[in-house]
Every structure is written in C-alpha cells, then in structure tokens.
C-alpha cells in the first residue's frame, strides 16, 4: 500500500524512555510509517542534550524525522508542530514513554480505509512502570458511531487518550488541531473533531500500552485536578444533550477522577473528601464502575499476553 502514516511523538524530559518508544514504532508491521519526533525540551537544557544524543542513534533511519522546537511549547502545540512537519496521509500520536504493539498502525489504518473515516479511536492497555497491567480502558458502551451519539459518549466517558487516535492529516489541518491547554488535550481534540463533523469510528481492540509513572505524567498533581475541573465546566455547557441520570453520572465521574488524582498526588485528605462526594452522588455507580474495571482487567490479561 502507498498510503503513508505519520506517528507524532512529542518529547519532554524523557530521553530515558524515548528509545523504547521509537523502537516500538520501527517494529510496526505496516510500511510506510513515518516517525516524527518533536523535541520540546528547552534549548541548552540537559534534557535537550540527552535527547539529541539519543536521536543520533537513529540518524540512518530514513523514516525518522527529528524536529527541535526553538522553545518549549507544551504538549498540544508540540503535536501541532509535528503534524505540520509530517508528510503522511494519516497521523497518529504516541507519548514519549508509551509503546505501540507491532500491529497497531496496520490494524487501525485498514479499519480507517475500509470505512472511509476521517478519524478513529481504539482501546488502550495501562501498565505500571514495572510492566504490570493496571487497567484495560475499553469503550464497550458504544453501539452507535453517529456524530451526535459519540459526542454524548465523550461527555459521559471521555473517548481518550491521544495514542488511540488516527486522523486524516488533511482533516486535522482543516481545524485548529490541538489546543494549548495544560491538561485534557486529548479530550479537547476529540471534542473539536466531533464539532467539525469528523466521520469517526471505534475499533474495539488495543495495540497500545500506556505507562503510569509516579512523577512523570500530568495525570497526577495540580495540573490534573485543575484540568479536570475545567473539563467539567466545559461538559456542563452540553448538559442539555443529556438526561438527568446521565448528568448525575457525569458529576459522579468528575468527583471520582478528582479522588483518584488526589490520592496519586498524596493529597489524602482531599481524596477522602472527593470520595465521599462521589458516594453521595450515586452509590450504585460505584459498584458498577468497580465491577467493570475488574472485568476489563480480566479480559486484558487474556488478550495482551498474545500480543506482546
């Protein structure tokens, strides 16, 4: 096939993980796959120097493009810079500490072409830093991929993360791309793609491993908590699309996320407070969400062993 796929990899302060990420992309079964590494480290920093040294190892790889930002832009704008430099017909995204399993690009592109889609997303495996399965995030609630139905499910469940997306490059270039926000860039991109009318499909598989690190992601700490509050305020602007039960569920998930983020940030008093609010809003949903988490994890253990 002559269709080219570009994988955008923004990197910041993670040269020690970046090699693993790039190697997983070089191992893709689909060709041509272009790898665009966007160095978003501050010029003159040790992270920039270490990243340059690592990238020198890939100098002979014709499909590896190394882009150095003149200053640190942040995750969203760095991805936009990668999209501008890419030459692929389709773009996907991967954080600099995560990996694609070998069939990821091949499987998702085939799905895109077969269904003539502007965008698609998949499930994702979540692993701890010591390579143990933590969670299997699946979108099993999706039974309708119309734009309106996906918008509702995005408000309810968040059709994320970024690494699951594949998008026609021409389509994302017709929009403003990623927003320059400190957290929730993936949520905002999906929100904007749906508002622009992207023909979007869901592929219920995972060929992605996302790693959790105690101090290396914005999924913990102040950014996560403030970002979650901003996203909740955005969701409320579309509450008219939801039933009263669905609005209650969004509030339930909001405080559940704040509870987990506070716990991971070692803010235990806040975590307890958010947990109490979660329980008060909808006790039955606690049981349902925990049961779904355990079920998805059991499914993941059976499926991922055959892929890694």
Reported as a pLDDT band with limits 50, 70 and 90, residue 283 is confident
194/277 same-domain check = no
The string of pLDDT tens digits covering residues 98-135 is 999 999 999 999 999 999 999 999 999 999 988 889 88
Residue 154 lies inside a defined structural domain of this protein: yes
- Do 234 and 260 lie in a common domain? yes
The pLDDT > 70 percentage for the chain reads 89
Q: Is the pLDDT at 215 greater than 60, yes or no? A: no
Dihedral sign, CA of 63, 55, 21, 69?
negative
**Domain-located, residue 84:** yes
| Cα three-residue angle 58-61-67, rounded to 5 degrees | 65
Model confidence at 220, pLDDT cuts 50, 70, 90, reads: very low
Q: Are residues 86 and 33 in the same domain?
A: yes
Give yes or no: residues 198 and 243 share one domain: no
Report the alpha-carbon distance of residue 226 to residue 11 in Å, rounded: 23
In this prediction the pTM is: 0.88
Domain boundary among 212, 239, 269: 212
Residue 217: inside a domain: no
297 and 195 within one domain: no
- Domain identity same for 252 and 111: no
Domain count, the chain: 2
Same domain, 50 and 86: yes
Residues 182 and 124 in one domain: yes
For residue 175, give Cα distances in angstroms to 47, 85, 195, 232, 272: 32, 16, 10, 23, 41
Domain boundary among 212, 245, 274: 212
- Quick one: tokens of 17? 């993980």
Domain membership of residue 234 as a residue range: 222-304
Q: What is the pLDDT of residue 295?
A: 62
Domain termination residue (choose one: 212, 230, 262): 212
Shared-domain flag, residues 245 and 167? no
- Which pLDDT tens digit goes with each residue over 54-104? 999 999 999 999 999 999 999 999 999 999 999 999 999 999 999 999 999
Do 29 and 151 share a domain, yes or no? Answer: yes
Regarding whether 254 and 191 lie in a shared domain, the answer is no
Q: Please check whether residue 122 is in contact with residue 35, taking contact to mean a CB–CB distance below 8 angstroms.
A: no
DSSP 241: G
Q: With left for phi above 0 and alpha for psi between -120 and 50, is residue 184 left, alpha or beta?
A: left
Residues 47 and 11 in one domain: yes
The pLDDT of residue 219 is above 50: no
Cα–Cα–Cα angle for 281, 282, 288, nearest 5°? 150
């Amino acid at each position: 096939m002559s269709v080219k796929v570009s994988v955008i990899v923004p990197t910041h302060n993670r040269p020690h993980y970046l090699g693993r990420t790039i190697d997983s992309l070089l191992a893709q079964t689909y060709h041509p796959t272009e790898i665009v590494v966007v160095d978003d480290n501050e010029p003159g920093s040790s992270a920039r120097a270490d990243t340059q040294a690592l990238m020198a190892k890939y100098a002979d790889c014709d499909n590896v493009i190394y882009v150095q930002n003149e200053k640190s832009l942040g995750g969203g704008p760095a991805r936009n810079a990668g999209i501008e430099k890419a030459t692929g017909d389709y773009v996907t995204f991967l954080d600099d500490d995560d990996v694609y399993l070998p069939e990821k690009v091949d499987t998702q592109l085939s799905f895109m072409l077969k269904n003539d889609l502007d965008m698609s997303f998949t499930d994702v495996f979540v692993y701890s830093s010591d390579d143990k399965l933590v969670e299997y995030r699946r979108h099993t609630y999706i039974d309708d991929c119309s734009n309106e139905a996906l918008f509702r499910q995005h408000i309810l469940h968040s059709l994320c993360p970024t690494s699951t997306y594949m998008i026609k490059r021409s389509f994302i270039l017709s929009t403003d791309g990623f927003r320059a926000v400190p957290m929730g860039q993936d949520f905002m991109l999906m929100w904007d793609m749906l508002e622009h009318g992207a023909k979007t499909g869901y592929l219920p598989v995972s060929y992605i491993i996302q790693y959790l690190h105690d101090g290396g992601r914005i999924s913990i700490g102040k950014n996560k908590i403030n970002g979650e509050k901003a996203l909740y305020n955005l969701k409320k602007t579309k509450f008219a699309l939801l039933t009263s039960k669905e609005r209650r569920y969004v509030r339930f998930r909001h405080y559940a996320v704040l509870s987990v983020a506070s716990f991971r940030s070692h803010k235990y008093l806040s975590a307890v407070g958010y947990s109490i609010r979660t329980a008060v809003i909808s006790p039955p949903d606690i049981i349902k969400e925990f049961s779904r988490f355990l079920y998805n994890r059991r499914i993941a253990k059976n499926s991922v062993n055959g892929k890694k």
